[in-house]
Amino acid sequence: MHGGKRWMWGVVSLVGVVGCSSRESDGVPENQPVQMQARLEAFEGCEALESYIEDAAVLDMRASLERSKPSYWGGGIGRGDSVPPTSPSPDSGAGTGAGGGAPTDHTGTNNQVEGVDEADFVKTDGTRLFVLAGQKLFLHRSWPAASLRAESSLQLEGWPRQMFLHGDRVVVFSTVYAPAPGQGPGQGQGKGDAPDIGCSPYGPCGYGGAPRTKVTTVDVSQLASPQVVGELFLPGAYDDARLAGGAARVVLREQFEWPSGVRWYPESNDGSLWKDTKRMEAALDALMVENERLIRARSLSDWLQQPGRRRADGTVETWTRDCQGFHRTNAPTRLGFVTVASLDLDAPVVQAPGLTTLVANTDLVYATATSLYLSARHWWWWEEPGQSDYSYVHKLELTQPHRAHYVASATVEGQPLNQFSFDEHEGVLRVATTLTRRVKDPASRWGRTETSSRVSTYGQQGDRLALLGQSAELAEGERIFSARFLGTKGYVVTFRQTDPLFTFDLSDPTNPHKVGELKVPGFSTYLHPLGDTHLLAIGEHRAEDGNWSSRSLKLTLFDVSDLAHPREAFTQQVGSLSSYSEALYDHKAFTWFAARGLLAIPFVDWNWTNGTGDYWSNFTSELRVFRVNPATGFVPVGALSMKDLYQTVSTPQWSYSYVPYVRRSVMADDYVYAITDAGVRVSRVEQLTAPLATVRFGAPTP
């Protein structure tokens, strides 16, 4: 019970920390107003950084314990006697594939921005295919297609997440764990002279430890004998990464680690304390004092994770972070650290990265070759009528390969959905947001929410991203389900029971405006451009009455050649009400091969009408392939099944990192490769049911 309450309220509004010490403020702070002139400020030095962190931690701790008091839940501080709701996320000539060399055309990672690669667990250059599965990097010779084979595999420390392929280097980002506060030295893996860095997820500190990110650089010039040529340890858990030219930008999130001994409820041997309101509140007050003592007794090095590098002899050297590389926000946000680490992959040896850190918590990442944007939600301590949701968007400049530099911020009404809610075009940032406002409602003391959507544009003016223009509000009562900006055009999909596709003219940044609207059943979660005149979309079909039995996956080809009159040119329903595809919510699973006019999507389904009790008699795990042409629509090519790779694996071994379905695909000439956690399979596009080769990985060791 109390652990849950700690999680619920374990946040802090950093507004007020800057202007007044938390030592001078008791109780729960009021909701802070939206900061309309958001900005980041660098710290003058380490002393200022340490004071800021400790003041923020004390404020967070006091707020949490105040909310544990019976007087709070019983109507204290004018909040009433109810618990407020909380917000704790054309076909072309055929290649043979039989000879050597390389394919004529091939696909890679589906990236949002041309020229900016996004890290993923699959990478290929057409002749080599690299896959992260379990704790291994699998290296394949993938061309000729019929000769697909695994040349080798490499065991990696920690839990590999994603990677880049840059020339003959594969750069892998893995999560490793160090002892959390309260775990002494030697409770980690104990490698070299730095046992607090890089312990295995399966080691003594396990998942209870504090996550770090390990960067492993592998020379893959010889597929049969990959060589680790560099190992870096970065602060925080891996979140996302981008690569433009040879400069990689890695976004890391550090969880806030409380000192050992900080407690969130008083101890009582007989339970009587919980029945005595006066004693309980006195005990909580005393606990605040003791917790604050523990917090302020810490040094800066106790609060911050330190980066490191493994030497050739196996030991690890660490270095101290530059306090002036930290930035604080002037707006309310949640407690935490978000770091952008810059790595120059063109250097002969990957050097120590430049680190730019926000003492705040952000949720979305969007990047071009020259700019990286991070967004953070305005934090309301509790919801109440009169509030509108806002987001703070911070822009970092990427002109230097060794460091990202903060340049400007914006305050944006509403909340963006994902990275496709952002786009930078000719220096103008375009943002699509769902607006949420809380209004009074006689039926609820906490009011009710009203939603709509909007597209806004921003231009940099000094250290501000100034509002240039915004569209009228649209789709009252609905939320954005997908967005895409392409040059001077924009597209937004919202949903309640039907799927309105809105088209926007963005040619004048000061006057972004809706041009057309189309309503169809269901919704689209990802929009992919087919030239300048069509959008290829994946989403779900839903009947207009909302009946769930009508649900299925749906592919749609929208004709947007006339922005004022968009139309649903073709649709293709796929599967039953139980169907699912990772491409619904991860664009990297959506493979469009423009050179061949082919679309491939992972596909999972369950046949509820089959009366047998055998799991695999009911389950479908395959890659679905379609020919797509703006003139003729969708033509199903067939399916490449992968479920046999899992039929010998017991279901208890399945987890978030080992799932029984296709997750990715790549194509090369007339061949398609289906990629799963259990292996890779290749077939000719026109003969999907007759695989040419299969590589099995086997289940990871539990």
Report yes or no: 476 and 417 within 8 Å, Cβ to Cβ. no
Task: Kindly report whether the peptide bond that precedes residue 103 is cis, defined as omega within 30 degrees of 0.
Answer: no
**Would you state the pLDDT for residue 203?**
40
What is the token pair recorded at 316?
Answer: 């690890």
**Would you state the pLDDT for residue 88?**
31
**Would you state the pLDDT for residue 28?**
56
DSSP 34-57: P-TT--EEE-SSHHHHHHHHHHHH
**Using 50, 70 and 90 to split pLDDT, how confident is the model at 657?**
confident
Residue 4: pLDDT above 60? no
pLDDT mean across residues, the chain: 86
Q: What integer is the mean pLDDT of 344-351?
A: 87
3 state SS for 217-255:
EEECCCCCCCEEEEEEEEECEEEEEEEECCEEEEEEEEC
**Most distant CA atoms of the chain, gap in Å:** 83
**Would you state the pLDDT for residue 180?**
55
**Would you state the pLDDT for residue 447?**
82
Residue 614: pLDDT above 80? no
> Residues for the chain: how many in total?
702
- Of 185-189, 299-303, 633-637, 673-677, the range with the lowest mean pLDDT is 185-189
**Using 50, 70 and 90 to split pLDDT, how confident is the model at 611?**
low
Tens-digit pLDDT profile for residues 56-70: 899 888 888 887 888
- Of 74-78, 469-473, 482-486, 488-492, the range with the lowest mean pLDDT is 74-78
**Using 50, 70 and 90 to split pLDDT, how confident is the model at 403?**
very high
Helices 2-9 and 46-66, axial angle in degrees (round to 10): 130
Residue 312: pLDDT above 60? yes
**Using 50, 70 and 90 to split pLDDT, how confident is the model at 23?**
very low
Residue reference for tokens 């409770």: 187
**Would you state the pLDDT for residue 95?**
43
The residue extents of the domains of the chain are 2-33+43-88+258-298, 362-485
**What gap in Å lies between CA 17 and CA 15, rounded to an integer?**
5
Residue 187: pLDDT above 70? no
Tens-digit pLDDT profile for residues 149-162: 999 999 999 999 99
Nearest CA to 465 out of 71, 104, 39, 144 is that of: 39
Nearest CA to 537 out of 551, 546, 527 is that of: 527
Residue reference for tokens 């004022």: 564
Q: What integer is the mean pLDDT of 200-212?
A: 58
Tens-digit pLDDT profile for residues 93-147: 344 455 568 999 999 999 999 999 999 999 999 999 999 999 999 999 999 999 9
**What gap in Å lies between CA 504 and CA 517, rounded to an integer?**
9
**Would you state the pLDDT for residue 15?**
45
Percent residues over pLDDT 90 in the chain: 66
